Chain A
Amino acid sequence: MKIKIDGNYYEGNLGETLLELAIRNNIDIPNLCHKSGLIGQGRCRLCMVEVTEGTKTKIVSSCVFPIKNGIEVSTSTENIIKIRKDIIMLLLLRTPNNEYIKSLAEEYNVVPPTRFVDVNSKENCILCGLCVKACESMGTNAISLVNRGTTKAVSTPYDDASKDCIGCGACADVCPTNNIKLVDKNNERNIWNKKFNLVPCSRCGKYYTTEQAINYVNKKLNTNEEPLCDSCKRKIIGEKFKESCQNIY
């Protein structure tokens, strides 16, 4: 189907969201709670765009909006830019000392009303929910969004060390504001109030992941692979690729 975005036509796939289509075509729509591979959430509201369908124009969050044939999209009208700036301002009021949000504010020329800024704030979580989505996708479900309103937060059940957490660190990996503290020290990992022993890479010997994570993946995939760190894994794949290429030519 044909979708018009900012005057140009793009070919959309059935079931795709507007944001996915935009990302595929290198159209810039800012977003914080989206990550390819994880289903859209509509939390951060930064990806709001204007959609015209027939005679009706509405403002939608592109990360959850299913594309339809014949719609026209504007990604940067005056109103959309105002909404984006306001949302960044609100996030900045929540996490005034977070480097990432500060850089975003700078990029969009947002200056918060100083009277309402808590200069001593240590808050870094913008409640985008990506960590929860990542944990959910792993199948572990160790963390969740808890409470509501101003007390909403991400946590393990009762803030205790979760028996389901395997210390894989997927949550920390997807966090846009670097809020989740994953500390690797003395061959030990500390995350979500839980301690894990780290396992060395069978090639380079670097301590890189937890025993629980390896067991979990092996069990889930019904395999028994040797523990390999990311860079060794990449190296091996590269070598295999090179070999197969040599066989062809």
Chain B
Amino acid sequence: MNDKCDNKKKILVCCGTGCIANNSIEIYNKLNERLKNSDISVEPIIKATGCNGLCEKGPVVKIMPDDISYFKVSTNDVDEIIEKTIKNDITIDRLLYFDTNKKEKIKSHRDATFYKPQHKIALRNIGEIDPLIIEDYLEQDGYKALHKALFQMSPTEVIYEVEASHLRGRGGAGFPTGLKWRTCSKYDQYPKYIVCNGDEGDPGAFMDRSIMEGDPNTVIEGMIICGYAIESHKGFLYIRDEYELARKNMEIAIESARIHGYLGTNILNSGFDFDLEIVRGGGAFVCGESSALMASIEGNIGEPRAKYIRSVEKGLWNQPTVLNNVETWANIPPIILNGSSWFKEIGVEHNTGTKVFSLVGKVKNTGLVEVPMGTKLNTLVFEIGGGIIKDRPFKAVQTGGPSGGCIPKEHLDISLDFDSLNNIGSMMGSGGVIVMDDTTCMVELARYYMEFLSEESCGKCTTCREGINTMLKILTYITEGKGEIDDIDLLIQLGETITEASLCGLGKTSPNPVITSIKYFKDEYIDHIINKKCSAGVCKNLTSYSIEESICIGCGLCKRKCPVDAIIGSKKNPHVIDIKKCIKCGSCYSVCPTGAVIIGGAII
């Protein structure tokens, strides 16, 4: 390697779904075109990478080795980037990341409070490599773990290593991965199968998509290692049908892995055979449930079955099967390569390693976040997330997707791990974290999740199908102002039955949003039912707006914002809302600089 090579600048353009939607492909193309026709002495390499996590601030362009990250880049910035940063090493301040905690512009994204507390294992290569070029993955120690497993370890040793790492399934339930592998390896029934669950369906969660798009090879490597460990020669990747880019990148990665001898017969001359097949998801949320997923691969209706006999014994086509989630697979190569003791150092006891969360909702910084297990919720919301938008009061966090639970202010110091979350009635789920402020109505939120689940329940068992639907009816009554006080008890009663008597995990956990919101926000339910008031101003039947005369400064902002001209008043004089005209959109409430607009209950 000569000096010229060391001087090479690398331009990394994020080409994850979020950034592509914001035109990053055009930026990539324009950069290529401009550099081709230029006389730049340093040779830049442009790479289309996977998602960097800060999707909201995309498209993201990184310049290495200077480690400069530009956010919200547009095609108009391309010439300036080449002229200043590439040619003359001048940083463009305008495109730098503004850290809301530090209140300053930051050159390297690594220094931002959003990234600092993060520890990347599953996402280690994402945003750093081109997912379509296997050499990029190899440069980052890719397939070294497979080498190690095949030539330096016995299948039993591989299982032991995974077991010793205490890795737990990242799909939600947190079942010990090593134990799953060990149990499956004990059955002398062949063929055995390996499945990757890529049917990510929780609203707001996108870590699996990001891994499949940005680093498909790590999933492939993890699956091959498991195949070797449990003597399986065939794996399936069940990928959600909406994830077109993930499927495409996965297909290309599988093909190049075959060409390089990592998949197929006699892998790396070891005598071990293993191959992968992609299965397109059927489009149902419930197919993320392992037994429904397997039914779907077999070509049957995506309905779960009772798991009194586990999939490790009788899974796909009644053969022993190991099914893990995308993020779990991504953790396998580093564990094998670096050893279980390295992995165990990260995180807390019984909850080792890291977890990827997708932080969304009313926080300043949203995106994918990978932190050690046991990180406090506080850190996630206020440090990494930068706090609540407009610094409004924090109300609750919903973790674990639609069948997770809400966590109120008093539990903000909870440790983010499987057990602590379960203890307070929520769950880890796939790692979705939705932050809510005081403008969220908890009753409406519970109703919304029940509506989602009533549509997404497979409908097989009575308790889940009819139970959720009945809970939805009750909650709709409450949000419409037709609730009665006994409804709360009925919700709890039904919630218990659904939890105890439903067939699968989706059904069993479905009452969580209702039960936890009743537990932590019962006042709000009572307010809806007795006082006919929705203090968040969300349930229209239970909301009215008025202007407090003594606070109003007569600025006229609300009057201008009102879409139906329901506000009257002259400059510098208190304004009044005409209730007959008001459509309760809340525009006046959010625009008022003095807080003079007040939310009241239903006007009867």
| Interface residue ranges, A against B (CB under 8 Å) | 42-46, 48, 59-61, 64-66, 79, 82-83, 86-87, 90-91, 93-94, 113, 115-116, 126-127, 129, 144-145, 147-152
Contact = CB atoms under 8 A, between A and B. Distances in A.
A61 B507 CA distance: 14
B306 A64 contact: yes
B459 A45 contact: no
B494 interface: yes
B455 A144 contact: no
B457 interface: yes
B577 to A, nearest CB: 33
Nearest to B303: A145
Nearest to B507: A45
A87 B501 contact: yes
A142 to B, nearest CB: 15
B301 A86 contact: no
B308 A64 contact: yes
A83 B308 contact: no
B463 A45 contact: yes
Given A87-B501, A116-B470, A126-B462, 17 more contacts: A42-B306, A42-B461, A43-B460, A45-B502, A46-B462, A59-B500, A61-B501, A90-B467, A90-B470, A129-B460, A144-B301, A145-B459, A145-B460, A148-B458, A149-B455, A149-B456, A152-B465
Contacts of A151: 455, 459
A71 B93 CA distance: 71
Contact of B477 (A79, A94, A115, A152): A115
Contacts of A44: 461-462
Contact of A116 (B284, B305, B474): B474
Given A43-B461, A43-B462, A148-B457, A48 B501 contact: yes
B454 interface: yes
Contacts of A64: 305-306, 308
A98 B288 CA distance: 35
Given A43-B460, A145-B301, A60 B502 contact: no
6 contacts: A42-B460, A45-B503, A46-B462, A87-B463, A116-B474, A144-B301
Interface residues of B, number: 37
Contact of B465 (A42, A48, A86, A149): A149
Contact of A115 (B460, B484, B501): B484
Nearest to B283: A148
Main secondary structure of the interface of B (DSSP, over half): helix
Top 8 A-B pairs, shortest CB-CB distance = A152-B459, A90-B466, A86-B497, A64-B306, A149-B455, A149-B457, A42-B306, A45-B501
B490 interface: yes
Contact of B459 (A48, A60, A150): A150
B580 to A, nearest CB: 30
B469 interface: yes
B470 A66 contact: no
B312 interface: no
Contacts of A93: 466, 470
B87 interface: no
Interface string B525-540: 0000000000000000
Nearest to A65: B308
B473 interface: yes
A91 B467 CA distance: 9
B466 A82 contact: no
Contact of A60 (B303, B308, B462): B308
Question: Which residue, of B308, B456, B490, has the highest number of chain A Cβ atoms within 10 A?
Answer: B308
B493 interface: yes
Contacts of B460: 42-43, 129, 145
Nearest to A93: B470
Contacts of B467: 86, 90
B568 to A, nearest CB: 40
A43 B473 CA distance: 22
B308 A127 contact: no
B259 interface: no
B531 to A, nearest CB: 20
B309 interface: yes
A80 to B, nearest CB: 9
B497 A83 contact: yes
Given A66-B309, A86-B493, A127 B459 contact: yes
A83 B461 CA distance: 13
Contacts of B456: 148-149
